Amino acid sequence: MRCGIARDRFTWQDGERTIHFGRGALADTPSSLGEGFTLLTTARARAMAPELAARAGAMHEVAAGRVDEIAGALLGEVEPAELVVALGGGRVIDTAKALAAARPPGRRPRVAAVPTTLSAAEMTAVHRRAAGADGSLPGVRPAIVVNDPALSASQPDVALAASAANALGHAAEGPATIRASPVPALAGREAARLIAAAYGNDGEPDRDTLALGALLSGYAIDGGGYGLHHVMSQTLARFGGVGHGPANAAMLPHTLRALERRGAPGAGALVGLATELARRAQAVRLRDLGVDAAVLDACADAASSRAELDLIPPRPDRDELRGIYESAF
């Protein structure tokens, strides 16, 4: 891992991928992306970076919905160039990764990610596979990351807080899994510190600090993998009709306590920050997000089957999961 830092901007050569971070990063790295690439984006994201859209050879708008279904529908429509650029949030970036992963190794396009949220999807090889694709093929991690805080921390305050809660979940959970190793764990702890510092007062959060915290949280979760928190939040988003960010914000204070019971380092100390992020995200209780109490059983059933629960032992059983959902309701 090699990182050249100039003040708050840096280029990080991390194995096979290159990460550009800082204000103006997108404008300063056109040679990294070139022209003629296939662009996946949304209307909001495209309006924020029209110069990137202008350099694309083909462009596809990513609809709302589930990544596996979106990517499956695009498989027959998208003939990717050598480089696929994802400009958007986690759904857009994961769709680009899924499209690349649907092709056999050796014939896969490279993926570049320009995030417009704090999802940290740009830093991981974790994603759902395209419907109809071979799910046994390995996942894809973006080879180029361009994280400009003017884009990645651009959401309105309520959505930003929900996205920050997702990043804090990465920061807490990555170092707690049985796959954790020293450098990603250090990145996770620094990510949590930065997110806390960004919300160090009652006013406007420090968005540049948030963007760096989210980036490092993605490094942590890519190294350590997902566990109890993300299983429960993802399942809630899938079955409970709740957006990914609000689901993370509502669940995090409760899953942190479950991680603390399992000896996860520092998890208990983050409960106060997680509670504040849930308040700012207007996601304090699941019932306030429109979740029907009847769906909690289905969420517990689905979550209990996920293999990732083995990564933070002892593995929670279905009753514990149901109780955590109930505590958040």
In CATH, what number is assigned to the domain containing residue 320? 1.20.1090.10
> Which residue among 132, 152, 172 closes a domain?
152
- Do residues 167 and 257 both lie within one domain? yes
- Do residues 114 and 243 both lie within one domain? no
- The CATH number covering residue 118 comes to 3.40.50.1970
Sheet bearing 9-14, strands edge to edge: 2-6, 9-14, 17-21, 144-147, 110-115, 83-88, 38-41, 58-61
- Do residues 26 and 133 both lie within one domain? yes
Q: What is the pTM of this model?
A: 0.94
- Do residues 121 and 179 both lie within one domain? no
Number of domains in the chain: 2
Mean pLDDT of the chain: 94
> Which residue among 135, 152, 169 closes a domain?
152
Residue 182 burial (CB count, 10 A): 9
- Do residues 112 and 187 both lie within one domain? no
> Which residue among 127, 152, 177 closes a domain?
152
Residue 298 belongs to what domain range?
157-328
- Do residues 133 and 181 both lie within one domain? no
Q: Is the pLDDT of residue 113 over 90?
A: yes
Mean predicted confidence (pLDDT) in 277-302: 97
Amino acid 165 reads A
The pLDDT value recorded for residue 129 is 94
- Do residues 266 and 301 both lie within one domain? yes
Q: Is the pLDDT of residue 7 over 70?
A: no
The pLDDT value recorded for residue 253 is 98
Q: Are 255 and 169 in contact (CB under 8 A)?
A: yes
Q: Is the pLDDT of residue 104 over 50?
A: yes
Q: Is the pLDDT of residue 161 over 50?
A: yes
